[in-house]
């Protein structure tokens, strides 16, 4: 394979791209989807992936696909294990990469320039429509050199179908000092990523009704009505001078019908055994005040398990660092 100029070293050392073709499921998947499918029992071998271009036989492996969330040191990602064919469409240089490309490709934003990380799609598309979108938009792929450590992929064309990869990117951007520059598109609107995340910390619930956000905080799990679960936050919202712990429910029907339901069910079952064990919960939605039988409640109506993510308590310390541990838009 012959490639002109300094780009040759980059493409030969390709380490990761956002999507790969699953030889087991016969469809194109993101690494995040592959992770969920593996823990749902629908994928078996992390090495059975190839280049999404049907004319290319390059093979891939999905690194970390078989790791429990508590064992993950890096997010799941694809790595090339065989060379791309010369005519592969993924070898085309994306138009947004400058002509003077060195031996590494950077997705960093320049000082003062916003970094668009992609779009959060609220409803997963059918696999066929997603495959068509990918094949028609080869420029959406971001190439990563094998030089240095594994990087998180940032691209304005990247589409996310759950909040889990958004949480990963939130932490990465915060740790590397780029969070103030990052933006995300949601439902046709572009938001600062920092604005999208809100810690639950005694906010007035009436001031949080305009847009959904990704709310986070320490929480506990209780098994409820056989195989259903109630997740209750330790932190509170304020309503008419009363501080109320918000909560939400995850039902067995939701778990059985979702691709990540098997993994979530196991996680929730393990955590509900010890009701004193806290973990960090992220949920996308709007908190709602309710009354029932003379009691006041604040609930999130979870209608999509893609809007839910859990992390260990060490993430709480990461969130608290930096002097912005509060419930306002700075969080």
Same domain, 244 and 307: yes
Q: What is the pLDDT of residue 320?
A: 63
Q: What is the pLDDT of residue 265?
A: 84
Residue 162 has pLDDT above 70, yes or no: yes
Say how many C-beta atoms besides its own lie within 10 A of residue 120's C-beta: 24
Residue in the structure block whose two tokens are 């997603």: 130
- Could you read off the pLDDT of 195-217 as tens digits, one per residue? 999 999 899 999 999 899 999 99
Same domain, 146 and 246: no
Residue 8 has pLDDT above 80, yes or no: no
- Could you read off the pLDDT of 265-322 as tens digits, one per residue? 887 887 777 766 778 899 999 999 999 888 999 999 998 999 998 887 776 666 665 4
- Could you read off the pLDDT of 87-124 as tens digits, one per residue? 777 665 443 333 333 323 344 445 457 889 889 999 88
Same domain, 140 and 200: no
How far apart (Å, rounded) are the C-alpha atoms in residues 49 and 191? 34
Assigned domain for 99 exists: no
Contact 326, 201 (CB under 8 A): yes
For residue 330, the SS3 value is coil
Say how many C-beta atoms besides its own lie within 10 A of residue 20's C-beta: 26
Same domain, 141 and 275: no
Same domain, 313 and 262: yes
Assigned domain for 22 exists: yes
Same domain, 248 and 135: no
Stronger pLDDT, 139 or 121, i.e. the higher one: 121
Distant-in-sequence, close-in-space partners of 243: CB < 8 Å, separation ≥ 6? 202, 236, 237
Contact 60, 50 (CB under 8 A): yes
Closest-CA residue to 118 (of 170, 59, 51):
170
Assigned domain for 175 exists: no
Same domain, 38 and 141: yes
The dihedral region occupied by 44, where left means phi > 0, alpha psi between -120 and 50, and beta the remainder, is alpha
Residue 312 belongs to domain with CATH number:
2.40.50
Residue in the structure block whose two tokens are 């087991």: 24
Stronger pLDDT, 32 or 274, i.e. the higher one: 32
Same domain, 204 and 140: no
Contact 313, 286 (CB under 8 A): no
Closest-CA residue to 233 (of 284, 282, 198):
282
Assigned domain for 84 exists: yes
Structural domains in the chain (count): 2
Termini Cα distance of the chain: 48
Same domain, 142 and 239: no
Type and span of the H or E element at 244: strand 242-244
- Residue 283, exposed/middle/buried by CB under 10 A (0-12, 13-18, 19+)? buried
Say how many C-beta atoms besides its own lie within 10 A of residue 251's C-beta: 15
- Residue 66, exposed/middle/buried by CB under 10 A (0-12, 13-18, 19+)? middle
Q: What is the pLDDT of residue 47?
A: 94
Backbone angles phi, psi at 196, to 5 degrees: -70, -30
Same domain, 200 and 157: no
Tell me, rounded to whole angstroms, the distance of Cα 3 from its chain centroid.
34
Residue 221 has pLDDT above 60, yes or no: yes
Backbone angles phi, psi at 63, to 5 degrees: -65, 140
Q: Residue 296's domain spans which residues?
A: 196-320
């Amino acid at each position: 394979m012959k490639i002109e100029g300094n780009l040759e070293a980059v493409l030969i050392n390709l380490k990761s791209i956002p999507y790969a073709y699953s030889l087991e499921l016969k469809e194109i998947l993101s690494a995040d989807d592959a992770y969920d499918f593996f823990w749902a029992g629908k994928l078996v071998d992390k090495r059975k992936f190839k280049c999404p271009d049907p004319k290319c036989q390059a093979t891939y492996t999905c690194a970390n696909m078989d790791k429990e969330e508590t064992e993950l040191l890096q997010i799941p990602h694809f790595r090339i294990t065989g060379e791309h064919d010369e005519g592969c469409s993924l070898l085309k240089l994306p138009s947004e990469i400058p002509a003077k490309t060195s031996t590494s490709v950077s997705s960093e934003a320049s000082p003062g320039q916003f970094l668009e990380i992609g779009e959060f799609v609220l409803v997963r598309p059918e696999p066929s429509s997603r495959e068509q979108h990918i094949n028609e938009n080869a420029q959406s792929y971001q190439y990563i050199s094998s030089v240095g450590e594994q990087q998180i992929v940032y691209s304005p064309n990247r589409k996310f179908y759950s909040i889990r990869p958004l949480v990963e990117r939130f932490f990465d951007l915060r740790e590397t000092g780029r969070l103030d520059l990052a933006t995300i598109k949601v439902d046709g609107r572009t938001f600062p990523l920092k604005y999208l995340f809100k810690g639950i910390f005694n906010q007035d619930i009436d001031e949080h009704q305009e847009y959904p956000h990704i709310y986070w905080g320490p929480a506990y799990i209780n098994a409820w009505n056989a195989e259903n679960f109630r997740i209750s936050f330790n932190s509170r919202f304020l309503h008419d001078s009363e501080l109320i712990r918000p909560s939400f429910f995850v039902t067995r029907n939701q778990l059985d019908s979702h691709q990540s339901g098997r993994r979530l069910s196991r996680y929730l079952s393990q955590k509900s055994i010890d009701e004193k064990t806290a973990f960090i919960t992220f949920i996308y939605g709007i908190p709602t005040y309710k009354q029932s039988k003379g009691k006041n409640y604040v609930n999130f109506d979870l209608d999509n398990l893609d809007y839910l993510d859990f992390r260990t308590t060490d993430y709480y310390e990461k969130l608290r660092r930096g002097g912005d541990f509060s419930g306002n838009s700075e969080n």
